[in-house]
Amino acid sequence: MIQHPSVPIIKNEKLSKDLFKIVFRSKDLASGLRPGNFVHIRVSPEMDPLFRRAMSIYSCENDTFSVLFRAIGKGTGLLSKMREGDTVDILGPLGNSFDPPDKDETVILVAGGTGVPPLHFLAQWLLSNYGFDGQQILFLCGISSADDLPLSEAVEHLDIRMRTSSDDGSVGFKGYVSELLKTEALPYDIKKLRLYTCGPVPMLREVTKICAEQGIRCQVSLEGHMPCGIGTCLGCVVQSTRGEDEFDRICMEGPVFDSNEVLI
Partner 1 sequence: MSKFDLTVEIGGVKFRNPIMTASGTFGYGEEFNEYIDLSKLGGIVTKSVTLNPRPGHKPPRTCETAGGMLNAIGLANVGVDRFITEKIPFLQTLDTNVVVNVAGFSIEEYVTVIDKLNDCDGIAMLEINISCPNVGADGLEFSGSPESAHKLTSELQKISRFPLIIKLSPNVTDIASIAKACEDAGADALSMINTLVGMGVNHNTFEPLLTNVTGGLSGPAIKPVALACVHKVYRSVKIPIIGIGGIMDHFDVAQFIIAGAAAVQFGTANFINPSCTVDAVDGLKNYLRDIDIQCIKELTGKLKV
Beta 137-143 vs 161-166: how paired, if at all?
parallel
* Residue among 233, 240, 261, 264 that touches ligand FMN (CB under 6 A): 233
CB-nearer residue toward partner 1: 52 or 194: 52
Residue 224 interacting with ligand FMN (CB under 6 A): no
CB-nearer residue toward ligand FES: 51 or 130: 51
Residue 89 interacting with partner 1 (CB under 8 A): yes
Cα 75 vs. chain centroid, distance in angstroms? 18
Give me the DSSP letters along 103-166.
Answer: TT-EEEEEEEGGGHHHHHHHHHHHHHHS---GGGEEEEEEESSGGGHHHHHHHHTSSSEEEEEE
CA distance 8 to 236: 28
> For residue 68, what are the contacts with CB-CB under 8 A and spacing of at least 6?
15, 19, 20, 21, 58, 114, 116, 117, 120, 151, 154
Residue 237 interacting with partner 1 (CB under 8 A): yes
Q: Name the burial class of residue 187, with classes exposed (0-12), middle (13-18) and buried (19+) by CB atoms within 10 angstroms of its CB.
A: exposed
* Residue among 229, 238, 257, 259 that touches ligand FES (CB under 6 A): 229
* Residue among 73, 169, 215, 231 that touches ligand FES (CB under 6 A): 231
Residue 71 interacting with partner 1 (CB under 8 A): no
* Residue among 103, 231, 241, 260 that touches partner 1 (CB under 8 A): 231
CB-nearer residue toward partner 1: 215 or 231: 231
CA atoms within 13 Å, Cβ hemisphere of 128: 13
Nearest distance in Å: CB 56, ligand FES: 14
Residues 16-45 that bind partner 1 (CB under 8 A): 42
Given the rule CB under 6 A, which residues bind ligand FES?
A: 226-229, 231-236, 249, 251
**Interface with partner 1 by CB under 8 A: which residues?**
1-3, 42, 47-52, 89, 91, 224-225, 227-239, 245-247
